[in-house]
Chain A
Amino acid sequence: MKKITSYWFWDDFVPYQKLLRIMKLTFILILTGLVTYASNTYSQATRLSLKMEQVTIQQVFDEIENQSEFKIAFNSNKLDVNRKVNVDVNKQTVDKILDEVLENQGLNYEIVDRYIVITDKTVETGSPAKAKQKSVSGKVTNETGESLPGVAVMVKETVSGAVTDEEGNYSLTIPDGGEILVFSFVGMLTQEIVIGTQTTIDVVLVEDIIGIEEVVAVGYATQRKVNLTGAVAVVDAEKIADRPIVQTSTALQGLAPGVVVTQNLGTPGSDAATIRIRGRGSISSNQNPLVIVDGIQVGSINDVNPEDIESISVLKDAASAAIYGSRAANGVILITTKRATKGTFSVSGDFSAGLQSPTMLPEFVGLRNQFLLEDVNRYNRGLDLEWNPEYINNYVNEVETNGTSDAYQNNNWYDLAVKSNAPLHREQVVFSGGSEMVQARVSLVNMDQNGLIDNASFNRKSIRSNIGVTPVNWLKFNADFYLMRTKQERPPKDIGTIFHMVNELEPYRQARVGDGLYGWAWKGDNPIGFTESGGLNTNEGEYTLINLNAIITPVKGLKVELGYSNTVDNNYHTNFTETFDFYAELTSNDEPLTFDGTTPDKNSLRKETQRRNQNYYKAIATYTNTFGEHELTAMLGGDALDFEYGNHWGSRTEFPFGINYPQLGLGNTEGMNNGSSGYEWALASGFGRINYVFKNRYLAEVSFRYDGSSRFAQDYRWGFFPAVSLGWRLSEEGFLNDVEWLSNLKLRASWGQLGNQNIGNYPYQSLTDINQSVILSEIRQQGAAITEWAVNDITWEKSEQFDIGLDFGFFNNRLNGSFDYYHKNNTDILLKLQIPQVTGLEANYQNAASMENKGWEIILNWNDKVGDFGYYITGQLDDNQNKVTDLLGTGPYISGDRIREEGTEFDAYYGYVAEGGFMSAADLEDPNVPKWDSETIQEGSLKLKDISGPDGVPDGKIDINDRTVLGSSMPRYNYSILFGGDWKGLALDVILQGVGKRQGYMRRTGENFGNYLYDWEADFYIGENHPVLTEYGYDAAGLKANTTAEYPAYGVDNGGFSDFWLKSRAYLRIKNVTLSYTLPKRVSNQLKLKNVRFYISADNLYTFHNFIQGFDPENADGRGYFQYPNISKFMGGINIAF
């Protein structure tokens, strides 16, 4: 009678249980979730040739082990390993060989991937051992308590072994000298346990994070990680699963070396994160990596729901990315979504909610200091003082004694317009199940993120349905559907401007007057009005993806994939700007409130519809075979992609019924406007790859892509992108076989060429400018003209990259890692070169510039389990150095504080070098101190260094010739530390992420007088006896008067941008902390639940930095003060699986 197992809801599958469980585990463990063609069929794919006469069985086994990765163990007394046999097989699978060798021996054998265990035919595996010898039995389970069948249990340094049964039980006899048991299982960390006096040894196997069997997604296929020859970073989905991630772009941060993610804003629905893989390789073109989700190019990494991600592979070097040819120069991110596996059925729900708050906010100087410093600034700039002591004292006393009132206000505009906490919640339900023939995973996700200001929010709802159908064993269909609905709301007033105002407005400006009316603020620009009553800007997105694939296996070893996909992304934009009333500034509370006007003058509505449509076709054939010690995989494919964009819009003003009726027809026809535009592009390609493995240790890969792009003229349309890579698994060599502590050592080298076709849609054509209308006969008559020079031979930007890498694993891979060094040359970078003006046309982009990126990446990982406590720690560090190598003799191009010139880092900071300040009048009069030609230079101004002159030598004058390269604007030494541990269901995961070296421009420098003063600005040098302070009878000490002149005098002329204002933006951030607890199996089982997990998680918990107080060093360069701040998130949730 069959034992009724705990798998109560899939009893029907019991006959297949063992197989199913193995497969299920495999699916959980391998990171791609795709069919692991190569690994599952190792025993079938591995063919051996043996020709041996009169050798012992032991010798045969040794030879098998030598020729392959198989390990052979016995749990049998019958086997006489010294018996002489003859073997003569040619390219046979191992089962055929064993059949021959073990013929008529009454022996049985079992192959579990690379483990072969020989047992007695008559004796049940795991039956009690003979009494004479010591025996051990036990049960092997995984971390969640599920029993593991098929685990190889070997007695170390002997040939004794066993395999666990369906229930995970094993039993074996220990031969003399046997002291240690070795438990091995595909995808799990091998464990060794000293037997000692124990007779029962239960073992929990831990997943091998960088397991030997790990399969990673590479271009158009998956590959065993051990056979990888390119630089591919893999991000484990579990690392992002519990984090409160709202935008997939941020999910990558700190998780892959060489991938630098900078989160610029915290705006709901658009955090503007930039992803740079191995530096910058272009000047004017798009530098974003190519993002491929399940084989389909997507416009943005945010077009996939973070919850649906199974794994992320980042193809960093040319060898791994060249298969994507002209789109791969900025690197490739491959995302695989989760799929159902055969034989499972589960319903799970994940519900979480939390709060967001700004990571940091600046402090202000306070009312009295605000007044004073404003006048100090005016005085320093030679302007009339605006305030007087009586006024200030009167005002401040009024506020301090009677509190604020309409006329006497003391506002922190941040507090008024920005909420300290904004809610966030997400709900996810996943149905996943599959039979032999059909597997389906359907996920429903809802995510709601509120903003820190009124009328700002983001909502995303999505359904993903990934279905696999296998009607016959040589055919499989995948049909995936993804529907995503997004809705982003924000005030029509630019969100950056609102934050700018919130920062800029002085505390005494009137925010609200009377009974909740809007005060004058600044000419009616009242940020509270803008957020509360300024209308609504809504962007609704409808994203629909269909991805159909057929996988045909007509003969063994050959796989043919045919696919079609269509993506439609529609956006509906409604921007209704509403007016609000504001009231005149009050100078005393006796004044009546007077209506001053409305902001803006009239309300308006703009509606826009955008449509993006992408078709994708592919056909790929892959052939895999093994010839003796040669393993070969060859792939040949072709694909084609076409993309079309179109939009139309209309706008009107003066809507009598206001925002409640946001229909264009209701507005005034006068001044109404409308328009539309569109573009399309296409790409057609052929590609191929050959992977060759010799003796499991010598690896070679050659790939190419032949790309045709509509973006180039017919004669320049096609490009060829080759790549070669080699690998050497030193650890498999005989001379390293005996090194116990070395589990993996592989040397890799690669070279390849890539392209960047993100250069606009029609660069080779000159577009007709239809805005060339002209007044003729006093009326505007339509005109059209060609105004740009068409560069007919324009072609892709090219990137050539060399990479050398080392992968290593020690102590059973408990310590593992890799190191990569790369050298990347980008050439043919588009640059607008000056052309002779006789052409009479505007210059256009030409393939002209070159750039170089050199860098290295290192990742180190330690994981182990001590009893019930498992833990890991991972450290990552990378660096990239960029240099513009060629601008075809043009340049330097100086734009503000940045420079682009040959031999210098791209967009390096450029300006003067400050050296102290003019501390006294004597300094100013000293003819030896170089000065710039200005009357506003004065005591308290910065001194600048005389570096050069018009003749290339210092000339005693400060002018533009004295500017120099000041430093890098790129993040250097990006690092992260990930660590965590789990104990009896309790788990903690921490991600620390940081940038070791980066500079930022303190744009609010005090040189340009603003109306708003931050606390740190009170530190400006103003002098103890500053005339203003004296006049105001002010106690200088109270204002932190600073005669050591840490800062220049407030408001004086400092001669322009100098390195004084460059500050370190290095930081270390507690990016994420997640604490979770999984109910013990028995408890959840009693609740009739499969799994119950509680978790709390925090993002951007704390930041260590030395940048300006109150400003997030990660925010876009120096612009923090007028942007939506970065946010911290705190969430708690529960995950229930049925």
Chain B
Amino acid sequence: MKNKIYIIIVLVLISVIGCDDYLDKQPLDMPSSETFLSTPAEVKMGVNACYKLLDNDNTFSHRSYYRLFVALEDAGQIRMTNSLSPFREGNVNPELAPVRNFWSDYYSGVTRCNIVIEGMEKAKDKMNESDWLELKAEAQVIRAWCYYSLVVKFGDIPFTDKLLEMNDYANLPRTSEDEIYDFIFKQMEEAAPNLPATRTGDDAGRVTAGTAWAIAAKAAIYRAYFQKGKAISPDANYLNKVKTYTGNCINTGGHELYYDSSNPEESYKNLFIYTGENCSEVLLQKEFNYSQNSSHDWLRTTGSRNYSRCMSGTTPQEYLIHSYEDTLGNTVDVSPYFDPKNPFAGREPRFYQTIVWPRVEGSEKFTMTLTESNGKTRELTGFEEVYPGAKFPEDSDPTFIWEYNTLLKPWGEAEGVNYDQVGYKINDDGTAKILTNQDCTNGWSSRTGYLTWKYQALEDGMAGLAANGSLNMILLRYADVLLMRAEALIELNDNLQEAVDLINMVRARGWGMSSAEYASHPSAKTTALGQDGLRALVRRERKIELCHEGHRYEDLKRYGATVKALGMDVVGRPKYFHKEAETNIPQIDGNGVVRLPWLEGLDGQAPDYPNRWWMSSNYKQHYDLWPIPQTEFDNGNLDSAAQNPGY
């Protein structure tokens, strides 16, 4: 009896202590890392989550880093705190928050894709092979995009294609940029064949073979011109890769330039708003949908002050205005149409589809008496049609606008709308209600006096959803691919006719014409420009076509033109008709960089500075490679000697 009890005790103790299974507890409401990605559904969910980090700009209300780069263009500027303005102010350092966030966000994307690509092996046997390969290819494309985004900004960077132990991360050295580029090329070559040329239905937003080739081309063209933080004379080896990859992209046949069939002349403008959303020109985009609880506040930060809560924060610069050709295809400096008193007239159509410029002339001037609530009356003079940032010329007084029954009018341009049908709001005494023109009077209206049309979904503004836009943010589009190919061909002096054809294709769409139709247009280009002329053309063409889309900064870097282009004062439209402007015509160089002769010699915000002045710029050459964030030295074992030069 006693012995039995002893045995029982010992057994109980052993069973309790010995049974380790008892202590294996997994989370009950979600899969743990131990089991994740072992089913087809989990693989799909895992890949979906990778799309979330395509461009995860958490700092800026989930907009897009590629929109943030407007701050680093000679075409636009952002007036927001926490932006990239230190690049202009000349005090970029490794602690800079947007740089750190950019780094960590894209590494989050890399890691997420690494985990998925590695972990989905667990589900390989449970899935149709082509489905599995396709999902893997999607993660590879997103990872390549993340690495592309990082390598062009930071040069040599820590690299891994697997999830590592913490120690290994802390000790991860910087891999040479060439190896990163090679990785991108190889990955895209592997991924593209596993991806479809087009996407439809619920897959419409997913990447295609074209996306993979375009990313490879993007990486190749950047590497061709830019190495170890410096612009170099284009490397034919990489230019040939551009040629190959863009060719592959075009040959998939899955993508084409967008035309708005009902309104071809507005095709370019409509590409960036709901009308053209999700068209096949888009190669890569970050999607939003307010009804699905996902939105951004791009309109709020960029839109007209006349929309409630809009802040006119991101606006075109004067330099962009003068980058557009006239309707004949002449640059400003040689354009017969250029009139300093009316600098906005006679430009090629993309000007009007990109820039909201101040206009009062031509609209009827009137005077009315307003009775204020305190009983006092006020005489008002104004123009029937007022445009953002108006008060041009300075002696006009467009400080108020009609209050229409819709919010269409305050924006200014609203062609095709019959105002009589919309109707004014009428006061009791029968006069029309008026509103203050915030674009003119608000102290925080556009600093440059211009606004942009790009990604301006006005219907969101009307619906009070300026801060909750659904418009998808395009990261990469087909026109870019065509221009990259043209550029590579020109640089290789390979097939200039094809290059000209590609450029004309892009230009034709601006006019709303088919390529064939445009071929006979006076502004259409020919090989007569020669290699040098075409080189200048394609560089200017990229600036205009892709402005405010986050590519110009990279282009400036590879042309070696950052200091020149970004070192100029950030300025808006002329404050008044500058006498000298009549004789000193804006000049444009081979990189599309515009020089305003009348600003030369003036430093900063002199009282009589002829243009709206925003800030002087002190961009430094070494900024072409961004600093590795300080956190990597503080929290990891990265040697601080390995910091990019200049920091």
Contact = CB atoms under 8 A, between A and B. Distances in A.
Contact of B287 (A552, A711, A767, A775): A775
14 contacts: A554-B2, A562-B12, A619-B16, A682-B22, A708-B20, A776-B206, A779-B289, A779-B292, A782-B45, A782-B48, A783-B51, A833-B635, A838-B158, A840-B109
B111 A839 contact: yes
A736 interface: no
A610 B517 CA distance: 71
Given A678-B29, A775-B294, A837-B631, 6 more contacts: A676-B29, A680-B25, A766-B33, A772-B49, A777-B202, A785-B50
Given A837-B107, A839-B166, A840-B112, A621 B34 contact: no
Given A777-B206, A779-B289, A789-B166, A840 B111 contact: yes
Contact of B17 (A562, A642, A686): A686
A681 B289 CA distance: 40
Nearest to B150: A838
Contact of A776 (B42, B51, B107): B51
Interface in B20-72: 20, 22-34, 36, 42, 44-46, 48-52
Nearest to A790: B33
Contact of A767 (B9, B20, B27, B202): B27
Contacts of B108: 840-841
B17 A765 contact: no
Given A617-B16, A783-B51, A837-B104, A778 B289 contact: yes
Contacts of A835: 166, 169-170, 635-636
A556 to B, nearest CB: 11
Given A685-B17, A837-B632, A779 B202 contact: yes
Interface in A770-801: 770, 772-786, 789-791
A684 B22 contact: yes
B20 A717 contact: yes
Contacts of A638: 12-13, 16-17
Contacts of B278: 777-778
Given A781-B48, A782-B48, A840 B104 contact: yes
Contacts of B34: 765
Contacts of A775: 205, 287-289, 292, 294
B46 A784 contact: yes
A1008 interface: no
B174 to A, nearest CB: 10
Nearest to B289: A775
Interface in A816-843: 833-841
A769 B30 contact: yes
A752 B210 CA distance: 66
B629 interface: yes
Contacts of A768: 30-33, 36
Contacts of A769: 30
Contacts, number: 218
Contacts of B103: 837
Nearest to A639: B16
B20 A714 contact: yes
B463 interface: no
A766 B32 CA distance: 6
B32 A767 contact: yes
B638 interface: yes
A709 interface: yes
B23 A709 contact: yes
A785 B205 contact: no
Contacts of A706: 17
Contact of B115 (A617, A785, A833): A785
A785 B202 contact: no
A712 B99 CA distance: 36
B22 A836 contact: no
A767 to B, nearest CB: 6
Interface in A182-215: none
A777 B23 contact: no
B513 interface: no
A785 B1 contact: no
Contact of A774 (B29, B30, B48, B631): B48
Interface string B112-144: 101110000000000000000000000000000
A869 interface: no
Interface in A661-709: 676-686, 706, 708-709
Interface centre among B2, B22, B199, B631 (most CB of A within 10 A): B22
A827 B204 CA distance: 54
B42 A778 contact: no
B287 A774 contact: yes
Contacts of A549: none
B603 interface: no
Given A555-B2, A767-B33, A768-B33, A761 B170 contact: no
Nearest to A680: B25
Given A682-B22, A786-B115, A836 B635 contact: yes
Contacts of A683: 23
Interface residues of A, number: 69
Given A710-B25, A837-B100, A840-B107, A762 B32 contact: yes
A684 B289 CA distance: 50
B29 A679 contact: yes
A553 to B, nearest CB: 10
A848 interface: no
B19 interface: yes
B20 A784 contact: no
A637 interface: yes
A568 interface: no
B638 A836 contact: yes
B12 A717 contact: no
A145 interface: no
B293 interface: yes
Contacts of B49: 772-774, 783-785
B533 to A, nearest CB: 43
A664 B632 CA distance: 52
A785 B31 CA distance: 10
A879 B8 CA distance: 47
A684 B31 contact: no
Contacts of B289: 775, 778-780
Interface centre among B25, B107, B293, B629 (most CB of A within 10 A): B25
A815 to B, nearest CB: 45
A554 B9 CA distance: 12
B170 to A, nearest CB: 6
A560 interface: yes
B414 interface: no
Contact of B36 (A637, A708, A776, A784): A784
B606 interface: no
B109 A677 contact: no
Closest 7 CB pairs of A and B: A840-B111, A836-B636, A678-B28, A783-B49, A785-B49, A772-B49, A837-B104
Interface centre among B44, B48, B52, B115 (most CB of A within 10 A): B48
A768 B41 CA distance: 14
B641 interface: no
Contact of A552 (B5, B16, B109): B5
B370 interface: no
A347 interface: no
A397 to B, nearest CB: 29
A586 interface: no
B362 interface: no
A422 to B, nearest CB: 39
Contacts of A834: 631, 634-635
Contact of B636 (A640, A684, A779, A838): A838
A774 B16 contact: no
A621 B9 CA distance: 7
Interface centre among B16, B49, B287 (most CB of A within 10 A): B49
Nearest to A846: B166
B201 interface: yes
B372 interface: no
A295 to B, nearest CB: 15
A682 B23 CA distance: 5
